[in-house]
Amino acid sequence: MVSPLKNELRASYAGRSVSHGRAVGKALHIVGRKRQYFRAEIVESRVENEIARFRAAVTYSAEQLEALIAKPPTPNAADIFDAHLLILESSSFLDAVEEVIRHDLVTAEWATKTVTEKLVSSQRASSDQHLRQKAVDIEDVSERVANALAGGQSPLPPLPPNTVLVATELFPSTLMEFADTPPVAIITERGGWTSHTFILARESGIPAVSGIKRVNRRFDDGDIVIVDGDHGTVTVASEEDLEVSSTGAVDLGAAAFGTWETDDSTEPGFRLYVNVDSTAKVSRAVEKGAAGIGLLRSEYLFPGIKGWPDEERQFQAYKAASEAADGLEVRIRTFDFDLDQVSFGGREPEKNPALGMRAVRLGLARERSFRTQLRAILRANTNGNISIILPMIAGVQDLKQVRSLIDDEFSRLEGVKFPKIGAMIELPSAVLVIDQILKYVDFLSVGTNDLVQYTLGVDRDDEMVSDWYQSLHPAVLRSIQILIESAKKAGKPVSLCGEMAGLPFYIPLLVGLGADEFSIKLSSWSAVRRILRSVEKTQAEEIVRVVKELDTAQAVEEALAAAYRTYWPDLQLART
Ligand code: PEP
Ligand code: MG
């Protein structure tokens, strides 16, 4: 255990638990809007390389600005872009960044940020209103250069040992990039239980706390912090605490449900699949005795690559996943990117990316890139164990369009098998027309993380509204039941693959609603197996009969907790 707090002056902050466990480490801020980075020191021999990266980014940014000046989107815009070009090419910016790289031995990203902050604060301190306004333009230019640097896709340096990542919002792709040197904990301001970042953190046993307001001002790089992911708190601590933890006395990343015995027999009547984001996890799922891979989030197979990976790289990755599955089915979901994740340009971010150009919509809008992914998946399907899942299907029109692309690409290939095709059901519209959708697919994957978000209109990544993110809302439960009943009527499999399916608390309810196929993360395997083994279908249906009469999520939750006390008094059933 960490030694008790020695003085009451230690700052402690309350947030929300988004991944269980407890860890002590050194804070390290992650910054950047498009591609995230941190203050990494470089060796002297890398200085010229960083300067070359910076110059290339400046040239690219200047070309972008020149193109905008030549063809301004609005009549006044040319003047603004002219001003930006002047800033970009000024020696107070260019020379200053190069000087910081040379002198401080830091990356081009960090030097750009340092110089920008200095220039902006001196403009903001000016008594001249015109100069004060110029601060915004400097930030804009700096953002453009940062985006161009991100486009260069140089890999992030490894994290130092015992790092606690601190960020307003941490991107899942950033966390994936640290797979070989993972942080011991994560602290953020934004992000909820079903945010991808925290799904990944839980999967890797990294404790995390979200909802710490103004997180960037609370900690300095190097501060020792204790992250308690069980209670959702962060405490600033001492070097001594870190030493105690490195002797192994602190329980790092304890799972919410403890470690239960594993036994690989299959529960009769249920099929248990695994959600994965890497080929290594495919092999581990096979070893556990999974029925297959119920959801491979393909966008995570290529850490460090922003945008659409090339066909060969994708082919190799899908082929490796298919082979690692040892004949079991692998359901590959096509990229569930939003626009921001694939574009580098200095364009305005979408106001509502969750409602914008993302998932299958983005695929249809960028047909050439989408065809590349479809072709790579089809080419990898020589064993016939690959299926395709299409994310964010709103209705039959999306499906018809994608099907025609798949048919077209398939017709040009030889020696490959036609895959099964499934739709992710995440939108209320898809629930309402599920009978129509079922005519065009071989199976359904119910993505409850998004289904809750879109049904209730609650941003799953916005910690502020997390009280309204209610997986037990009667509308969500009715939707799940409609989906399961409709799929069964059509004789097609339906699997539940959101975070709900990985939490034992929801399993009796889902079984009572008719679910018999679940796709869960590896770290939930033992806990879900255990509850599935002890759930009687008739008991579960009885519970559902009761909760279906209830009209609030809170009432449903209380009724479930009461039923569990009766049926499974020994089972430790936490909701999150
Ligand atoms: C879901 O939405 O429930 C899901 C499984 O997909 P993701 O979490 O990747 O959006
Ligand atoms: Mg989803």
453 CB within 6 A, ligand 1 = no
Residues contacting residue 575 through CB under 8 Å, at least 6 positions apart:
503, 505, 557
What per-residue confidence (pLDDT) applies to 349?
77
Instruction: Considering every ligand atom shown, identify the ligand nearest to the alpha carbon of residue 393 and give its number.
Output: 2
The residue nearest atom 8 of ligand 1, judged by CA position, is 449
pLDDT above 90 coverage of the chain, percent = 60
Q: Which pair of tokens denotes residue 558? A: 């209380």
Which of 360, 497, 520, 521 should be mutated for ligand 1, with most atoms under 8 A from CB? 497
Alpha carbons within 13 angstroms on the beta-carbon side of residue 21 total: 24
pLDDT tens track for 418-452: 999 999 999 999 999 999 999 999 999 999 999 99
Q: Which pair of tokens denotes residue 507? A: 């399993």
Question: Domain 271-549 belongs to what topology?
Answer: TIM Barrel (3.20.20)
Question: Which residues have CB atoms below 5 A from the ion given as ligand 2?
Answer: 426, 447, 450
| Mean model confidence pLDDT for the chain | 87
**Strand (E) positions, 122-260?**
163-167, 185-188, 208-210, 224-228, 233-236
Q: Which among 252, 208, 248, 242 has a CA at the least distance from the CA of 222? A: 242
98 CB within 6 A, ligand 1 = no
| Predicted confidence band of residue 365 (pLDDT cuts 50, 70, 90) | very high
Q: Which among 405, 433, 432, 435 has a CA at the least distance from the CA of 419? A: 405
Residues contacting residue 431 through CB under 8 Å, at least 6 positions apart:
425, 451, 455, 479, 482, 483
CB atoms within 10 A of CB 355: 12
The mean pLDDT value for 159-170 works out to: 92
Q: Which among 64, 55, 86 has a CA at the least distance from the CA of 149? A: 55
192 CB within 6 A, ligand 1 = no
529 CB within 6 A, ligand 1 = no
Residues contacting residue 340 through CB under 8 Å, at least 6 positions apart:
34, 349, 350, 353
What per-residue confidence (pLDDT) applies to 158?
86
The residue nearest atom 1 of ligand 1, judged by CA position, is 447
Residues contacting residue 406 through CB under 8 Å, at least 6 positions apart:
374, 378, 388, 419, 421
The residue nearest atom 6 of ligand 1, judged by CA position, is 447
Is 8 a residue whose pLDDT tops 50?
A: no
pTM: 0.74
CB atoms within 10 A of CB 458: 17
Say which of 20, 84, 196, 473 is annotated catalytic: 196
494 CA → ligand 1 middle, Å = 15
Domain boundaries, the chain: 12-36+159-246, 44-151, 271-549
389 CA → ligand 1 middle, Å = 12
Terminal alpha carbon distance of the chain: 23
If you write DSSP's letter for every residue of 517-541 in order, what string do you get? EEEEEGGGHHHHHHHHHH--HHHHH
Residue entry with tokens 């164990």? 385
pLDDT above 70 coverage of the chain, percent = 89
449 CA → ligand 1 middle, Å = 5
Q: How far is CA 147 from the centre of its chain?
A: 20
Residues contacting residue 50 through CB under 8 Å, at least 6 positions apart:
42, 101, 107, 108, 111
* Element at 380 (helix H, strand E): helix 367-380
Which of 445, 449, 494 should be mutated for ligand 1, with most atoms under 8 A from CB? 449
Residue, of 242 and 398, whose pLDDT is higher: 398
498 CB within 6 A, ligand 1 = yes
Residues 196 and 439: their CA atoms lie apart, in Å, by 31
204: helix, strand or coil: coil
Q: Which pair of tokens denotes residue 320? A: 């490796």
Residue, of 562 and 425, whose pLDDT is higher: 425
Residues 520 and 288: their CA atoms lie apart, in Å, by 12
Sheet holding 22-29, edge to edge: 12-14, 233-236, 224-228, 22-29, 163-167, 185-188, 208-210, 16-19
Which of 426, 476, 480, 483 should be mutated for ligand 1, with most atoms under 8 A from CB? 426
Phi-psi region of 162 (alpha: psi -120 to 50; beta: other; left: phi over 0): left
Question: Domain 44-151 belongs to what topology?
Answer: Enzyme I; Chain A, domain 2 (1.10.274)
| Predicted confidence band of residue 570 (pLDDT cuts 50, 70, 90) | low
Say whether 130 is catalytic: no
500 CA → ligand 1 middle, Å = 10
448 CA → ligand 1 middle, Å = 7
For 424-457, give the secondary structure using H, E and C: EECCHHHHHCHHHHCCCCCEEEECHHHHHHHHHC
450 CB within 6 A, ligand 1 = yes
Query: How far lies 479's CA from each of 86, 141, 269, 427, in Å?
Result: 56, 47, 22, 10
| Angle at CA of residue 241, ends 236 and 243, nearest 5° | 140
Residue entry with tokens 């119910």? 446
Which of 332, 450, 520 should be mutated for ligand 1, with most atoms under 8 A from CB? 450
What per-residue confidence (pLDDT) applies to 99?
95
* Element at 143 (helix H, strand E): helix 129-151
257: helix, strand or coil: coil
Atom number in ligand 1 closest to CA 498: 3
What per-residue confidence (pLDDT) applies to 3?
40
- Alpha-carbon torsion angle 224, 229, 234, 237, nearest 10: -30
402 CA → ligand 2 middle, Å = 18
* Element at 560 (helix H, strand E): helix 553-567
Task: Kindly tell me the burial class for residue 522, based on how many C-beta atoms sit within 10 Å of its own C-beta (0-12, 13-18, 19 or more).
Answer: middle
Residues contacting residue 63 through CB under 8 Å, at least 6 positions apart:
none
295 CA → ligand 2 middle, Å = 10
398 CB within 6 A, ligand 1 = no
pLDDT tens track for 100-137: 999 999 999 999 999 999 998 888 887 777 777 777 77
- Which CATH superfamily is 12-36+159-246 part of? Phosphohistidine domain (3.50.30.10)
462 CA → ligand 2 middle, Å = 15
Say whether 196 is catalytic: yes
448 CB within 6 A, ligand 1 = yes
Say which of 29, 84, 473, 497 is annotated catalytic: 497
What per-residue confidence (pLDDT) applies to 185?
97
Q: Which among 170, 140, 134 has a CA at the least distance from the CA of 29? A: 170
